[in-house]
Structures are given as structure tokens and as C-alpha cells.
């Protein structure tokens, strides 16, 4: 299966332009043979554009994610539409299960090749270090998995990488490929490279980190979107410029590695 990570250029105050750039990138990825495409965290508003969150929030059936659903169907790709700021009240009004009756969430949505919404993941761990996320957003509760092309997909978001128990829970639920949309800034480059690699090694699973390419007043994103295999080996990566990162991933490889190195058999609870 060909996996493509969209390391997207994001501009503050340019939701329409960000959406156009995402659309063009998805179309390029599909034209190059991608089966599964993934976008970064809060790519339409920009993670550090906190003042825009309430104004740009929408339901999971709103215009941004509806456009992503259409793209997935038109181009016959699985699509993790990164994450957007979700208006929980609007989603509830649309008949979607939500963790609270009101407020906002950092919400990632997965669409199948037919454009059908198959998974909703709301970021569990909200970042408080130099960020307004904990003040503005409601944490998620569910940890879904989705079957796609022989993989069991799991989803986490950015800061979640620092909490290994979340990834072990996904692996115990069968996840073999975890997609991690992110907005990871400088200077924590080493953390960005070590943490997902460790999550892959610990769980003998693929981990793919999808970061943005953007410079905000408060921070600049490190880029370096990467696909790690079940040994923790980087299969494909990038610098900090806008680009597509593509790797071939094989669900059978997970079973092979787990059989070759059955560390879980030695686990003591």
C-alpha cells in the first residue's frame, strides 16, 4: 500500500488558501498512486492561530470535511483529513456523538475510498506549554480503529506522542499503523524524531507522523514528516519545506516482525 503524508504549507488567516493547497496536494498524491493520504494537525486554520479557533470551527459535516469526503471519493483514496477545530454543538446538532454538549475539539476524521466517514478521533492530551489549547478545547475520549487495505489504523495527534500508554492501548485493539497529524514546532526536533520512533519500536507497528510546514508569530513547525516501520526504521522523511512524503507499507510486515521478535510474550502487567 502506498502511503503519502502531506507536509502542507499553512498560512495564518488564509483558510480558503490552505484548503486549496490541501486539495491540490491530495490530487497530486492520488495521481502518483497513493492509496492512503494524510494531512497534518489543524491545517486549515493553523495550530497557533488560537484567535481563529472559535470563528473557524465547524461540524464534522461542515464545509471543510465535506470537501475532504468528496476528494476521497473522487480520487479513490483513503484520507485522514488531518484535524480541524470541531464545533461540538454543531456536530451534536448533526447527530454526531460528541464528548461534551458544547465547546471545541481538535478533531481528526478518516474517510474511506468511497468518501464515507469511518473514524473520528478527538485529541486526548491537550498541550498547555506555551499554548492556549487546554483553555480553548475539550479533550476527546474515544480511541477508534479502522480497517483499511489490510491494516488496522489507529489515530493520535501531536502531543499524544508523549503518552505511550495511548499507543499500547491502540496496539492491544489491533492497530498496525498509527497516523499522527501534528503541528510540532522548533526547537524540539529531537523529541519529534525520537518519540514516534519509540512508539513504533515499543508496539512493533508502523507509525507515520504528518507535520505542517509553516511559520507563525509564536513558532515555526519543524516539518520532518516521517514513516517509521515496525522496527522503528524511517522509510521516508522530509526537511521542513512543503512536500509529499511517500512510502510503501505492508501489513504483513507487522506480523513478520512480531513473529521474529515476540517481545510482547515477555510482558508483565
Task: Please give the full DSSP string across 176-216, using - where no structure is assigned.
Answer: SEEEEE--PBTT-HHHHHHHHHHHHHHHTSEEEEE--B-B-
> Residues 6 or more apart from 231 whose CB is under 8 A from it?
200, 201, 257
Please compute, for residue 44, the number of CA atoms within 13 A of its CA located in the half-sphere on the CB side.
25
Which of the following is catalytic: 41, 56, 58, 86? 41
H helix runs in 39-188, sequence order: 53-56, 63-75, 88-93, 133-136, 164-172
Distances (CA, A) of 199 to 129, 148, 161, 168, 213: 22, 21, 8, 8, 23
Helix, strand, coil proportions of the chain in percent (round to 5)? 35, 25, 40
Q: Is 172 a catalytic site residue?
A: no
H or E element: which one contains 244?
A: strand 243-248
Which of the following is catalytic: 9, 123, 133, 215? 123
Q: Is 27 a catalytic site residue?
A: no
Q: Is 123 a catalytic site residue?
A: yes
Distances (CA, A) of 254 to 43, 168, 176: 30, 15, 7
Which of the following is catalytic: 56, 58, 158, 215? 158
Distances (CA, A) of 210 to 54, 81, 95, 134: 24, 11, 29, 22
Give catalytic residues, as residue numbers: 41, 123, 158
Amino acid at each position: 500500500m502506498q502511503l503519502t503524508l502531506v507536509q502542507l504549507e499553512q498560512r495564518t488567516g488564509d483558510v480558503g488558501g490552505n484548503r486549496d493547497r490541501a486539495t491540490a496536494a491530495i490530487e497530486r498524491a492520488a495521481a502518483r498512486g497513493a492509496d492512503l493520504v494524510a494531512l497534518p494537525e489543524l491545517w486549515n486554520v493553523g495550530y497557533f492561530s488560537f484567535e481563529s479557533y472559535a470563528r473557524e470551527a465547524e461540524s464534522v459535516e461542515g464545509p471543510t470535511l465535506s470537501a475532504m469526503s468528496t476528494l476521497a471519493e473522487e480520487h479513490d483514496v483513503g484520507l485522514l483529513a488531518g484535524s480541524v477545530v470541531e464545533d461540538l454543538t454543531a456536530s451534536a446538532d448533526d447527530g454526531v456523538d460528541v464528548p461534551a454538549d458544547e465547546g471545541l475539539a481538535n478533531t481528526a476524521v478518516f474517510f474511506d475510498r468511497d468518501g464515507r466517514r469511518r473514524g473520528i478521533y478527538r485529541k486526548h492530551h491537550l498541550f498547555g506549554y506555551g499554548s492556549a489549547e487546554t483553555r480553548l478545547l475539550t479533550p476527546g475520549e474515544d480511541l477508534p480503529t479502522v480497517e483499511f487495505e489490510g491494516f488496522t489504523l489507529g489515530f493520535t495527534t501531536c502531543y499524544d506522542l508523549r503518552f505511550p500508554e495511548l499507543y499500547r492501548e491502540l496496539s492491544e485493539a489491533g492497530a498496525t499503523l498509527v497516523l499522527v497529524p501534528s503541528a510540532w514546532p522548533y526547537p524540539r526536533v529531537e523529541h519529534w524524531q525520537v518519540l514516534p520512533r519509540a512508539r513504533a519500536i515499543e508496539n512493533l507497528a508502523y507509525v507515520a507522523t504528518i507535520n505542517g510546514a509553516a511559520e507563525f508569530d509564536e513558532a515555526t513547525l519543524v516539518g520532518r514528516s516521517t514513516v517509521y516501520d515496525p522496527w522503528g526504521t524511517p522509510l521516508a522523511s522530509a526537511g521542513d519545506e512543503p512536500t509529499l512524503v511517500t512510502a510503501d507499507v505492508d501489513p504483513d510486515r507487522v506480523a513478520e516482525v512480531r513473529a521474529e521478535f515476540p517481545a510482547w510474550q515477555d510482558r508483565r502487567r
